[in-house]
Copies of this chain bind each other. A is one copy, B any other.
Amino acid sequence: MRHEVYSILHTCARWQLVRVNNVKTSIKDIARAAGVSHSTVSRALSDSPLVNEVTRSRIHRLALEMGYSPDAGARSLVRGHTCTVGVVVTTIADPFSAEVVEGIEATAYSHGYSVILAASHDEPEREIAAVEMLRSKRVDAVIVTSSRVGALHQERLGAAGVPVILLNSHSLGGAPHTFSVRVDDQHGARLATEHLLMLGHRRLAHVAGPAGHSPSADRLAGYRAALAGVGVPFDPAQVIAGTGRPAAGEQALPQFLAMAARPTAVFCYNDMTAIGLLRAAHSAGLIVPDDLAIAGFDDIPFATYVSPSLTTIAQPKFELGQQAMSMALTLMSGVAEGVSDVVLQGRLVVRESTRIRG
């Protein structure tokens, strides 16, 4: 990729001015300018009632003129908290966690908290490093999404008095996490599969998610539960391994076509997988939903914009974030103890990729 750099490095008068001004003003500077003590300035700026109205406004004006900005680090040193929460996501460029973070941010903002975001890149090592960084920055709470090692954080930070909330984390061990918010994967998968069954489909198939992930296991379990519910036998051969990415859906199609009992409907681990399958079906000349009905999971923004638009399970992403942040707020206020586990239900959204079996 070509790029051009225009760099004017000659000494610029304005920049020199800037260099001269390169001073961080502290309350002491303001105190000196106002002819008062620095504690009076501190009180004035925090609008304490124990300060004369006239000096108060004079100090406020002075602070503005001198470009004062309070040092959050110094403040938190004495106050003992930072009004900041840390959030760990696997990757920022994931539309799913993006919406979750929006929910967290909205709730945090409305309560005067700010958010530090860190990426784990789905590596336990970097996840730990991220949490450790957040701890060093003395965040008041930590929310970790899709954690691989959530229990560890809860152990370490919990001991330091920092609540850790796990969001959609993998609880493969079976032991419930101390604080967590998650969506009911099994229930959602069951909803989607039951929808396909209700449309008259009997030869179903499933493209699974990444092996070893608990959502993969839960969604598969929901799929099986729905089949069992109507007495359709479960055939392991009709579950294709996947990754959660579009390629997995694309690669699944030939396998479906080669099956003796070719499926008429497929429930995919997530929308990305479903979109890949959709694309492959389109290339192969199959008509969706007539030749093949497809259902996804997540309801990512683009589920509406593919053709045909995608039937899916809408995860309450924004609300997931809200709930996690609310739990953090509660925990920080020191009220709650014990264990609390909020589980939200997904919602079936029927679009064009599924239809009654004609």
Contact = CB atoms under 8 A, between A and B. Distances in A.
Given A117-B117, A282-B307, 19 more contacts: A1-B345, A1-B347, A2-B345, A6-B339, A7-B336, A7-B341, A11-B338, A12-B338, A21-B159, A23-B160, A24-B160, A69-B136, A71-B138, A72-B136, A73-B77, A73-B137, A93-B102, A95-B95, A105-B119
A6 B302 contact: no
A74 interface: yes
Q: Interface extent on A, as a size class?
A: 35 or more
A162 to B, nearest CB: 9
Indicate how many identical chains form the complex: 2
A132 interface: yes
B3 A337 contact: no
B77 A74 contact: yes
Given A8-B339, A339-B12, A340-B6, A105 B92 contact: yes
Nearest to A5: B342
A246 interface: yes
Contact of A7 (B92, B276, B340): B340
Interface string A17-49: 011011110000000000000000000000000
Nearest to A337: B15
Contacts of A118: 114-115
Please list the 5 inter-chain residue pairs (A to B) with the smallest Cβ-Cβ separation, ordered nearest first.
A73-B73, A22-B161, A93-B98, A117-B117, A72-B136
